[in-house]
Amino acid sequence: AQSVAQPEDQVNVAEGNPLTVKCTYSVSGNPYLFWYVQYPNRGLQFLLKYITGDNLVKGSYGFEAEFNKSQTSFHLKKPSALVSDSALYFCAVRDIDTGFQKLVFGTGTRLLVSP
């Protein structure tokens, strides 16, 4: 079965510094990878996706993610963090083993950006 792992429960970064939220995946075949963000008291919002093509994917709010096939990783990045980026971030992979290609989510990483 397809799966993703988010090895860090929490990431702390100072405002203005670059941030990275890590995700590794395990899939059979081509990976379809996603990042979602959850702000306090809100549902998850789509940030970006990787299907095929360029390894650097750009998304909403200045975020980008780097797909690395050899390391089976799909890390989320931002050059300069904002306090408003503080949220819960989920990596997800589309499970193509079943007839229904559902999304399988990681356990989430809480990002705290300090002023």
Residues that bind another protein (CB under 8 A): 9, 32, 34, 36, 41-46, 49, 51, 90, 94, 100-103, 105-108
Residues facing 90 on adjacent strands: 36
Shortest Å distance, C-beta 61 to another protein: 15
Look at the block and give the residue holding tokens 């990787």: 50
Alpha-carbon dihedral of residues 52, 45, 76, 20, nearest 10 degrees? 180
Shortest Å distance, C-beta 76 to another protein: 15
Shortest Å distance, C-beta 18 to another protein: 25
